[in-house]
Amino acid sequence: MSHLISDRVFVIDQSRCIGCEACVQACEECGTHRGQSLIHLEYIDRAMSTQTAPMVCMHCEDPTCAEVCPADAIKQNENGVVQSALKPRCIGCSNCVLACPFGVPKYFSRPDQMMKCDMCYDRSSVGLKPMCASVCPSQALWFGTLDEFGATREGALIFELRFGNQAVPTKVGTVVHDISAGPINVTVPVPGLWQEDPFGLEAAVP
Partner 1 sequence: MRNSADTRRSGLPLQPRAAAIALLSVAVVLVLVFLGSSGLQWFDAALAGYLIGVLMAVFAVVYRYLVWLQRPPTAMLNRRGWESFRRRGRLARNVGGLVGLATTNLLAQGFIRRRATSRWAAHQLVFWGCALAAVVTFPLTFGWLHFESVGQDGSEYRAYLFGVGTSSFQATSAVGFLVFHLLNVAAFLVIAGVLIFLYRRMRDPGALAVERSGDFLALAGLFAVSVTGLFLTASTLWLEGRFYSFLTNLHALTVILGLLYIPFGKLFHIFQRPANLGVHYYRSDGETGDQQACRRCEEPYASSRQIADLCEVLGQVGFDYGDGTGGIFQQICPSCRRKMVTVAQAARVGGFG
Residues 56, 134 contacting (CB under 8 angstroms) = no
- Contact with partner 1 (CB under 8 A) among 34, 151, 205, 206: 34
**Shortest Cβ distance from residue 136 to partner 1 (Å)?**
15
Of the pair 113, 144, the CB lying nearest partner 1 is at: 113
**Shortest Cβ distance from residue 44 to partner 1 (Å)?**
5
Q: Measured between alpha carbons, how far is 51 from 78 in angstroms, rounded to an integer?
A: 36
Give the CA-trace dihedral at 95, 101, 104, 107, to 10 degrees.
Answer: 20
Instruction: Show the binding pattern over residues 47-66: x = contacts partner 1 (CB under 8 A), - = does not.
Output: --x-x-xxx-----xx-x--
Count of Cβ atoms closer than 10 Å to residue 21 Cβ: 15
Residues 21, 141 contacting (CB under 8 angstroms) = no
Where in 76-135 is the site for partner 1 (CB under 8 A)? Answer: 77, 83-84, 87-89, 91-95, 97-104, 110-113, 118, 121-122, 125
Residue 163 binds partner 1, judged by CB under 8 A: yes
Residue 42 binds partner 1, judged by CB under 8 A: yes
Residue 176 binds partner 1, judged by CB under 8 A: yes
Where in 125-154 is the site for partner 1 (CB under 8 A)? Answer: 125
Residue 190 binds partner 1, judged by CB under 8 A: yes
Task: Identify which range of 2-10, 129-137, 142-150, 169-177 contacts partner 1 by CB under 8 A.
Answer: 169-177
Count of Cβ atoms closer than 10 Å to residue 159 Cβ: 17
